[in-house]
A and B are shown apart, each in its own frame.
Chain A
């Protein structure tokens, strides 16, 4: 089954086209990275796919449900880790996890068990009673991702998950994301070339709202005749030809 199929997805803000005729298919279990410079349309794409903003035209079908006609069904299957750390500051780490589990329909007992599992998986057990606002940026980000995973989503959106983290915290998160590969479909947006190269099965490059290239890191390097993925990205991000 296809996890995500977008058809001519367009998002316009007044005179600006943030996403332009995005047609893309992502397989179930795939880790797909969306790369692009600032304002390329990555976050807008994630917002449309997760039901946060309505497309101006076009549609996307997530595991058989349209984001236009069956938004609630889509929302039950997905979860999002937004670009900025999204935690309730006055709630403890445990309470944050428990809240999200229950919002997605988990019973009190099931939420408690799932919370314990997430605390353990993400190494948060020792700080389970600490208020989220007292955690370091890296730990808050880790909690934010654990909150996105606690609902057992079939599709997980990670919007720049390692933005602003130091190299050690970034590597730790990479390891956590690596463990999720194959268990769910993951859409990852990032500015970091090495992150996309290390983690993703396929990479899509967005430029000025258009998807200008899709393929594995090797395919994109071969396509551009470059030895480094960063050079391939620069070549593709500055090109104008769009993939249809």
Chain B
């Protein structure tokens, strides 16, 4: 009950922030329209809808790190979190309360991306639902990254660090170009990090290549669990520290 009350407050704070709607939904939508327009003007298949849409859906989720981080860091910067820390809310209540509202937002973001892709010509198949589901661990990963940042730094720093993370995750995701084309150290780094695996898993789900989903999904899920665990530890430490 108290967790849901806190989650409901966080959802209201998030959806009442117009910047969240612009970045998390508007930005990927504009990019999808742009790349579709580019694709229609070139003879080779560079930005085909079945390839670019899962990538843009994953890219949209990276903004979740910005919003979860900002929400927590802003709460820390005001006395509001002090008020809550003096209440009977537990560390688990906080972490679940911050996460719960972000998950439906993440699913809605992906769904909007795919709905637009349908309008632009992506075939309507059940695999789209699977692709959206496969992106959930990616959403958890970015929520965890955000909560980790929000526990460590102030809201201004969250903005700066998030933009680095969003850029790194975009470049190393294989959404805009094939990582194999660059090869070398760049590919090795991309393979170690979870971002390309997020996009690969979503693409595999969409194309019906079910065998390719699990290895990529396991990689992303592993990162998500570890990052979330670190975020929980950092937040618990912050709760008991002298300086919120």
Contacts and interface: CB of A to CB of B under 8 A. Distances in A.
Interface of A: 13, 50-54, 72, 75-76, 78-91, 95, 98-100, 102-105, 107, 147-148, 151, 157
Contacts of A80: 82-83, 86
Contacts of B17: 90
A114 to B, nearest CB: 13
A95 B12 contact: yes
B88 A72 contact: yes
B87 A100 contact: yes
A104 B83 contact: no
B9 A105 contact: no
Contacts of B244: 52
A100 B83 CA distance: 9
B124 interface: no
B89 interface: yes
Most-contacted residue by chain A among B82, B84, B88, B244 (CB, 10 A) = B88
Contact of A75 (B6, B9, B16, B87): B87
B9 A99 contact: yes
B13 A52 contact: no
B56 to A, nearest CB: 28
Interface in B199-244: 240, 242, 244
A51 B90 CA distance: 12
B192 interface: no
A88 B86 contact: no
B86 A99 contact: no
Contact of A90 (B8, B13, B90): B13
Nearest to A54: B240
B13 A82 contact: no
* List of 8 A-B pairs having minimum Cβ-Cβ separation, nearest first: A102-B5, A86-B79, A82-B79, A84-B79, A86-B83, A80-B86, A50-B86, A90-B16
16 contacts: A53-B242, A54-B240, A79-B87, A81-B83, A82-B79, A85-B79, A90-B13, A90-B17, A91-B9, A91-B12, A98-B5, A99-B6, A100-B83, A103-B2, A103-B84, A104-B88
